[in-house]
């Protein structure tokens, strides 16, 4: 079974500063996908960034980047130049493509990030 | 159009009521999903439809009945719910159910059972 752990229930960061959200996971699979989703007060889950486990290069999307450590089963999210609009709940998620027909995302418990003006 | 639209946004229903949640997407996606999210918890998968056929039912009670009338629509019929079923119900879609496709989420229906 897969588990996803986010050990930081809440974090805050000053506007324009950098913050890192941590995520660890447990799986016996070798090929899988990892995601960070953002859920603002509007409630809509928005994909922030994704990482394929077979890729060694860390994914980046503008101000968002990940530090993927496959051996340590760690997948942290770094947000640079934090903006007020980054205030949201952030979920780390795992997907195992071995399960046929199942685009089944396993979510961590989330980290509530507040960007302080 | 990259939207998944859910209606209604809020719903209050009694335990004897029958209601339906609706989800619509026009991205040509062939996989659609229902997730349940309790307060301060992560979303949990309920159902997966792939090419209008139910492919996953995560042991959801029969008082929740999904329906996929066509590739753009997904309904969740509710009957005889319990107060503990109160939650945010999220619909999502993806190009197909293969793992390497992004899931797009709607804004959810906040359901309160009284």
B83 φ, ψ to 5°? -55, -30
- Closest chain B C-alpha to A47 CA, distance in angstroms: 8
Judged by CB atoms within 8 Å, which residues 28-47 of A form the interface with B?
33, 37, 42-47
CA distances from A37 to A21, A86, B58 (A): 12, 12, 22
Contact A114, A107 (CB under 8 A): no
Percent of chain A past pLDDT 70, that is, above it, reads 93
A45–B92 CB contact, under 8 Å: yes
Closest by Cβ to A33, choosing from B31, B40, B100: B100
* pLDDT value of residue B56: 77
Query: Which residues, other chains included, contact A110 with Cβ-Cβ below 8 Å and sequence gap of 6+?
Result: A6, A9, A39, A89, A90, A91, B40, B42
Q: What is the pLDDT of residues A17-28, one digit of tens each?
A: 999 999 999 988
> In B, residues 83-112, which contact A (CB 8 Å cutoff)?
88, 90, 92, 94, 97-108, 110
Mean pLDDT of A8-34: 94
b/e A17-54 (16+ beta carbons within 10 angstroms → b): eebebbbbbebeeeebbbbbbbbeeebbbeebbbbbbe
Average pLDDT for consecutive 10-residue bins of chain B (114 residues)?
A: 89 95 94 92 91 85 95 96 96 76 89 96
Q: Write out chain A residues lying below 8 Å of B38, CB-based.
A: none
The angle formed by the CA atoms of residues B28, B30 and B36, to the nearest 5 degrees, is 110
Candidate from A52, A96, A103 with C-beta closest to B103: A103
- The DSSP output letter for B103 is P
pLDDT, residue A1, reads 64
Identify the DSSP state of A59: P
User: β-strands B10-13, B109-113: how paired?
Assistant: parallel
B21: Cα within 13 Å, side-chain hemisphere: 30
Question: Does the pLDDT of residue A100 top 80, yes or no?
Answer: no
Query: Cα(A56)–Cα(B91) distance, rounded to whole angstroms?
Result: 32
**By mean pLDDT, which of A11-15, A82-86, A105-109 is the weakest?**
A105-109
Rounded to 5 degrees, what are φ and ψ at A85? -70, -5
**pLDDT, position B103:** 86
The one-character DSSP state at A96 is: -
pLDDT at A64: 98
In this structure, how many other beta carbons lie within 10 angstroms of the beta carbon of residue A112? 15
Q: What is the pLDDT of residue A98?
A: 56
Reported as type and span, the H/E element at residue A106 is strand A105-107
Higher-confidence residue of A71 and B57: namely A71
């Amino acid at each position: 079974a897969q588990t996803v752990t986010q050990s930081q229930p809440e974090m805050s960061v000053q506007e324009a500063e950098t913050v890192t959200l941590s995520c660890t996971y447990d799986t016996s699979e070798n090929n899988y996908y990892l995601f960070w989703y953002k859920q603002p007060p509007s409630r809509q889950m928005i994909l922030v960034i994704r990482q394929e486990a077979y890729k060694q290069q860390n994914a980046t999307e503008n101000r968002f980047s990940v530090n993927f450590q496959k051996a340590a089963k760690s997948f942290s999210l770094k947000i640079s130049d934090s903006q007020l609009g980054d205030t949201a709940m952030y979920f780390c998620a795992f997907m195992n493509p071995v399960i046929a027909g199942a685009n089944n995302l396993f979510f961590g418990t989330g980290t509530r990030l507040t960007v302080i003006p | 159009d990259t939207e998944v639209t859910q209606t209604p946004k809020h719903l209050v229903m009694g335990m004897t009521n029958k209601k339906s949640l609706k989800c619509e997407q026009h991205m040509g996606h062939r996989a659609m999903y229902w997730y349940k999210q309790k307060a301060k918890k992560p979303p949990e998968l309920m159902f997966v439809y792939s090419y209008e056929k139910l492919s996953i039912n995560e042991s959801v009670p029969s008082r929740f009945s999904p329906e996929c009338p066509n590739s753009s629509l997904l309904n969740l019929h509710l009957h005889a719910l319990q107060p503990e079923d109160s939650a945010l119900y999220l619909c999502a879609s993806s190009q197909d159910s293969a793992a390497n496709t992004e899931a797009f989420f709607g804004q959810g229906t906040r359901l309160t059972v009284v």
